[in-house]
Structures are given as C-alpha cells and as structure tokens.
Homo-oligomer: A and B are copies of this chain.
Amino acid sequence: MRASNRNADELRPIEFIRSYTKHAEGSVLVKCGDTHVICNASIEENVPSFLKGKGQGWVTAEYGMLPRSTSSRMGRESSRGKQSGRTQEIQRLIGRSLRAIIDLKKLGERTIFIDCDVIQADGGTRTASISGSYVALHDAIEFLLSNKKITESPIIDSIAAISAGIKGADILLDLDYSEDSECDTDMNFVMTGKGSFVEIQGTAEGIPFTKDEMDQLTNVASKGIQSIINIQSEALDKKP
C-alpha cells in the first residue's frame, strides 16, 4: 500500500471541472489528487506565419507554474526573463499530443492556444495538463461548431496521459511528487481513446530499466489511461 493509501496500479482521484473561468472558449480545472491545473483553450482567427495560406489550422500549448504551486517557492519565469528548459519541453509535449488527435485541415485557418497553468503541484503536472487540455479543446471545438465556424468536428480521437514508475520492485501507476523523487525509472505515456500510443518518454533516474520492466509499465499505464478516458467522457457528457 502506498503512502497515499493507493494500490500500486490505482489512479489518484481525477476530476474535470468545465467552464472554470468565463473568458476562454474551453476552460477546465483538472484535479489529479493534489495536482491542480487550469487548462484554457483559446481560439484565434489566424495561423502562425509558416502556415499562412495552407488551408489548415494549428494547435499549440504553453505551460506555466504559479511560483508557489510547489512546496518551496520557485522564481517567476516572467521575472527571470526566460522559460526554463523543463517548461519548454512540457509545452512542446502538450502541443504535439493534442495535434495528434486533431485533423488540422478540418479546423480551418485558425489557431487554438492551450494554456496549462499549474496552481498546485504534487507530481504529474504534464500528464494532468494533457488529460485536462483534451477536455478544454473539446469545449473549444464545440464552441466553433455551435457558432457555425466549422460544420464538422476536427477531433479524430480522445487523448489522455499518465505516468508510471519503478520503485524498488514495484511498478507504480500515477506517481505523486514524493514517489516521483524516489523512483528509479519514471515513464510518461500519452495514448488515444482507441488505445494507440502518441508519446512515450521514459527516463532512468537511478538503475537503468529492462525490456520486461518497460512492458509492465506500459501495461499498467494503458489501463490507467483507459480509466481517465472514461472519466473525460463522463465529464463531457454533462451540460457544461
């Protein structure tokens, strides 16, 4: 039994609160245990210059953490004047993941900006951001459909993400911050509702891992993502 009173293959409670703020076309507060991220999807009626006139849209993401989302205060990136490598790595991952389930031609010449802002962090902020952003993106697409900006949804599939790790002899699903620090290996998985992989990122912080361990991590993560996809689906079935 884990410190958080969970089984090894058990997710933290996950919740998607839609229409969380009033301005964004899609606005979701995702809570994965004590990790809370605001995911806002904003529609802009233009595309980056490298796509001008190509008859397709774009989806991109930015990520940030409030300075005191963490247990000790981090310097504010706007004040230091640059985004860290970690921030850029995460926002590139979120953007790539969401583009994988959008038909950019059907989106038309517009951009959807996904802003993921962590207001409280306890491990797994990047995977929570992806899972929450899918719901926000879905609501932004609904906005386009109901406003007759597009007639057909460009969403090809659903998408969600989760981490899994190896701690000693255990394969753990959905690591919280204290577990993440103690794991030898930490893998992040991004998968579609149909069960294919969009991203896999595994890092051995301690002892390198074997093919067999990788298979076990993949297995437990696949099941976890399927659960999240179901919870996303339930959240989207409700009136926003």
Contacts and interface: CB of A to CB of B under 8 A. Distances in A.
Contacts of A195: 210
B78 A64 contact: yes
Contact of A79 (B62, B203, B209): B62
Contact of A197 (B77, B89, B202): B202
B192 A196 contact: no
B42 A64 contact: no
Contacts of A92: 85-86, 89
Interface residues of A, number: 68
A146 interface: no
Contacts of A66: 21, 38, 40, 115, 117
B115 A23 contact: no
Number of copies: 6
A108 interface: no
Interface stretch (A2-10, A49-57, A67-75, A123-131): A67-75
A143 interface: no
A204 B100 contact: yes
Contacts of A222: 211
Contacts of A199: 202-204
B64 A203 contact: no
Nearest to A188: B201
Interface string A102-116: 000000000001010
Contacts of A22: 34, 120
A156 to B, nearest CB: 10
A23 B69 contact: yes
A76 interface: yes
A73 to B, nearest CB: 4
A78 B67 contact: no
A82 B84 CA distance: 11
22 contacts: A21-B36, A21-B119, A23-B120, A42-B72, A44-B73, A66-B115, A73-B113, A77-B78, A84-B88, A89-B89, A89-B92, A100-B204, A100-B208, A117-B117, A157-B208, A195-B210, A197-B210, A198-B204, A198-B208, A199-B202, A201-B202, A214-B218
Contacts of A231: none
A196 to B, nearest CB: 3
B78 A87 contact: yes
